[in-house]
């Protein structure tokens, strides 16, 4: 199952809106086939694993491992449950049930009704964590939300706009940290900033420093303030500009209602994950209304002395990493549940 996880992670950033799935086929304690879901619309992990088995006659004496319940419906590809039954694979080990309404136990039922032995719940917690984006989307009806920012060690995000000479991003973190951020962008389906960040920094919001697909830019701009010449509007082939008109708001609303309508809109647009990169007001709104799942905070070993204050956030610390050579500290937090 751990090997299934490793295979599944290879698809991170390219399978949306589908989940991350890896599959391994074992015969007499030897892996004879393995695969992962690489891109939405392309073959699923089980299909690729079966295709990788050279001697198909061995399948009827083998065990198939997969971190998520095999699908049992016709989407862009046929049901994996049918393929498993067709090849008479006698035993399937599954990490966790797929809560998507088109599956949700029906794949397991199909296998068992055809005489397949199904073992369920192997590394279940880890299986669910692997597909936290997919499960959050289907269960909470919103994207999985990651907050990210960099701050000075004295608690500022950036200098005040009036003290700046250029309309460019202010980088507090090192180049190594910035490359890490671009890798994170490549892993998520979308990236969100507020209107003020676009006005002050004119960011591109791309993955230009790593290999990977650019996330879909989302600009939270209820008052429609950003200029049409903004770099993000000119360079992106696909973007979401969340204005009052887009969100069907015809009156003055609170930040909480604006965020709520924004998340409803992203859900309808099938956005499974979003990394929020500011600015301060936007980040604070997400935090205040507990609309976040993870926070990733870089603290640079430098002082600004004055400027835009960093958000304050509480949560369970997942990890703390210090890079002395690059002079920054990274803290990852998870929102407390309950």
* Residues 290-328: tens digit of each pLDDT: 999 999 999 999 999 999 999 999 999 999 999 987 889
pLDDT for the residue numbered 327: 86
Q: What is the pLDDT of residue 227?
A: 95
| pLDDT tens column, 133-175 | 999 999 999 999 999 999 999 999 988 877 766 766 777 878 8
H or E element in which residue 5 lies = helix 2-9
pLDDT digits (tens, 9 = 90+) for 183-242: 999 999 999 999 999 998 999 999 999 999 999 999 999 999 999 999 999 888 899 999
Q: What is the pLDDT of residues 4-33, one digit of tens each?
A: 999 999 999 999 999 999 999 999 999 999
- Where in the sequence numbering do the catalytic residues fall? 46
Q: Tokens in use for 313?
A: 């956030």
Q: What angle do CA 67, 85, 90 make, to 5 degrees?
A: 70
For residues 266 and 243, give the distance between their C-alpha atoms in angstroms, rounded to a whole number: 13
Find out whether 261 and 219 touch, Cβ atoms under 8 Å. Answer: no
Question: How far out from the chain centre does Cα 199 lie?
Answer: 26
- Quote the tokens at residue 124: 């279940």
The HSE-up count of residue 259 (CA atoms within 13 Å, CB side) is 21
Closest CA to 89 of 123, 112, 69, 121: 112
Report d(CA 287, CA 338) in Å as an integer: 16
Q: What gap in Å lies between CA 9 and CA 37, rounded to an integer? A: 9
Q: Output the pLDDT for position 167.
A: 67
Average pLDDT of the chain?
94
């Amino acid at each position: 199952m751990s090997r299934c996880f490793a295979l599944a992670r290879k698809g991170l950033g390219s399978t949306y809106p589908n989940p991350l799935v890896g599959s391994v086929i074992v015969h007499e304690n030897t892996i004879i086939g393995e695969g992962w879901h690489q891109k939405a619309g392309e073959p699923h992990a089980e299909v690729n694993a079966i295709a990788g088995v050279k001697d198909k006659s061995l399948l009827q004496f083998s065990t198939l491992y997969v971190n998520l319940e095999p699908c049992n419906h016709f989407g862009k590809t046929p049901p994996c449950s049918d393929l498993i039954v067709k090849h008479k694979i006698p035993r399937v080990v599954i990490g966790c049930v797929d809560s998507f309404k088109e599956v949700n136990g029906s794949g397991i039922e199909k296998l068992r009704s055809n005489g397949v032995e199904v073992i369920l719940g192997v590394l279940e917690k880890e299986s669910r964590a692997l597909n936290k984006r997919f499960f959050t989307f289907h269960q909470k009806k919103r994207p999985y939300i990651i907050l990210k920012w960099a701050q000075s060690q004295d608690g500022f995000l950036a200098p005040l706009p009036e003290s700046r000479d250029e309309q460019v991003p202010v980088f507090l973190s090192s180049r190594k940290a910035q490359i890490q951020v671009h890798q994170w962008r490549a892993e998520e389906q979308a990236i969100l900033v507020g209107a003020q960040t676009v006005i002050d920094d004119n960011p591109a919001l791309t993955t230009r420093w790593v290999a990977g697909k650019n996330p879909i830019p989302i600009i939270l701009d209820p008052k429609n303030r950003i200029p049409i010449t903004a770099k993000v509007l000119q360079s992106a082939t696909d973007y979401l500009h969340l204005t009052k008109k887009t969100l069907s708001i015809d009156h003055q609303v609170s930040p909480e209602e604006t965020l709520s309508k924004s998340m409803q809109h992203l859900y309808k647009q099938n956005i499974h994950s979003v990394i929020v990169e500011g600015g301060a007001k936007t980040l604070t709104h997400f935090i205040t209304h507990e609309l976040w799942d993870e926070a990733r905070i870089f603290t640079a070993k430098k002082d600004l002395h004055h400027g835009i204050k960093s958000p304050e956030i509480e949560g369970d610390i997942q990890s703390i990493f210090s890079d002395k050579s690059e002079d920054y500290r990274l803290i990852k937090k998870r929102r407390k549940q309950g």
